[in-house]
Every structure is written in C-alpha cells, then in structure tokens.
C-alpha cells in the first residue's frame, strides 16, 4: 500500500470515478480493518468505510499534498470510527450470529481452524476492549497496521511524545489485564 500517484489524486479530486476507484482499491482494506478493530463490529465497520470514502471524495479537492495521502486517509478513518464509538454506546453482538451460521456448514478441520481464528480474534477484541478509543487507535495503527510513531503522529495530528505515552499506557493496561486474568485463573 504505497502512496498513490499525484495525477490519480488530482483526477479523483475532479470527480473522475475510475481514479477514485483506484484510491478505493488501495485503501479500502486498511480503512475497513482499522474501523473494525475500533468499533468491534463488521456491519458498523462497513458503514464507517462507506462514510470514510464519501468524505474522501468530498474533501479530496482540499488535500494539499503536505502530508501523505496514506496518513490523511487513516486520519479520516480513525476520526470516523472514534466518533462512531462515542456516538453509539449500546452493546451489539452481531458477530456471534454470524459465527453460529458458519459452524453449521463447515468440516471438522475447518471448524478447528475457525475456532483457532475465533480464539485469536476473541483475544484481540478482549484486549482492545479495555483500552480507550484513543489508545485503541494508537495500538491498531502501530501493532496491526504497522505505522511508525511518526506516521501515527501525522495521522492523529498529535505530538510524537503523546503517541509514546498513549502506547505506554495502553500496554500497561494490557499487562495489568493479563495479570488479572492469571490471578483469576489461579
């Protein structure tokens, strides 16, 4: 996922739908994944992805090439997802229904693989749940999307030291959670 050529961005900003599709194809996956990790719900993540790309389309003519398009798109995605989380506080559990549907049609090997995947997913989701939306955004960008501290700072438009402290606090919380889980198991 490298930065998109400038002429494509300019064409898309003038309303060229093919150029915009190029941008969509390059960034829809990270946008959907970031949204999913923050809102923890696929239906909502897809809705956020739509909203993000509509915003990109509307604001692309204001993009001034001062930052990379990558961090600009991540910023829109993170802001949309965090606002969504803050707006919708009620709990929803659509993923469970989705998982139940999958089990009914799978072979034993597939079920095992699915269970392992489910377990990993569950671990990640439970870890992310203990974090605030801001900390979650930092962890997702760093650990899942692999952005550098500098890129995260540019994406979230905050100081690099704030990123450091948010990551530090988030990890302290994750370690504390692990300690608590281990104590409970004992």
Min dist CB 124 to another protein, Å, is 5
Nearer to another protein, 99 or 148 (CB): 148
Min dist CB 175 to another protein, Å, is 6
The tokens describing 163, both together, are 């990123």
**What residues have CB less than 8 Å from 14, skipping those under 6 apart?**
61
Nearer to another protein, 10 or 26 (CB): 26
Asked whether 76 and 70 are in contact (CB, 8 A), the reply is no
Nearer to another protein, 82 or 166 (CB): 166
The tokens describing 53, both together, are 């790309």
Min dist CB 49 to another protein, Å, is 6
Min dist CB 21 to another protein, Å, is 7
Among 144, 169, 168, 142, which residue's Cα sits nearest to residue 153?
A: 142
Min dist CB 37 to another protein, Å, is 8
Nearer to another protein, 1 or 88 (CB): 1
Nearer to another protein, 83 or 123 (CB): 123
Specify the long-range contacts of residues 150-157, CB closer than 8 Å, at least 24 apart.
Answer: 151/68, 151/70, 151/71, 151/74, 154/67, 154/68, 154/71, 155/71, 155/74, 155/75, 155/78, 156/75, 156/78, 157/75
Distance of CA 126 to the CA centre of its chain: 15
Min dist CB 89 to another protein, Å, is 24
Residues at the contact surface with another protein, assessed by CB under 8 A: 15, 17, 20-21, 24, 28-29, 32-33, 36-37, 42, 46, 49-50, 53-54, 57-58, 117, 120-121, 123-124, 127, 139, 142-144, 148-149, 164, 167-168, 171, 174-175, 178
Distance of CA 91 to the CA centre of its chain: 18
Nearer to another protein, 58 or 64 (CB): 58
Among 86, 83, 85, 121, which residue's Cα sits nearest to residue 102?
A: 121
């Amino acid at each position: 996922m490298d930065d998109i050529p400038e002429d494509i961005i300019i064409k898309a900003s003038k309303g060229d739908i093919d150029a915009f599709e190029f941008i969509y194809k390059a960034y829809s996956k990270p946008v959907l994944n970031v949204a999913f990790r923050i809102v923890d719900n696929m239906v909502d993540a897809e809705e956020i992805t739509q909203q993000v790309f509509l915003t990109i389309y509307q604001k692309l003519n204001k993009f001034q090439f001062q930052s990379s398009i990558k961090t600009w798109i991540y910023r829109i995605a993170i802001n949309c997802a965090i606002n969504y989380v803050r707006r919708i506080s009620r709990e929803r559990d659509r993923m469970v229904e989705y998982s139940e549907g999958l089990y009914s049609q799978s072979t034993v090997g597939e079920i095992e693989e699915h269970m392992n995947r489910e377990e990993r997913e569950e671990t990640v989701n439970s870890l992310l749940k203990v974090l605030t939306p801001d900390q979650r955004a930092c962890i997702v960008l760093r650990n899942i999307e692999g952005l550098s501290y500098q890129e995260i700072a540019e994406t979230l438009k905050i100081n690099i030291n704030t990123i450091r402290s948010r990551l530090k606090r988030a990890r302290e919380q994750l370690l504390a959670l692990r300690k608590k889980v281990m104590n409970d198991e004992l």
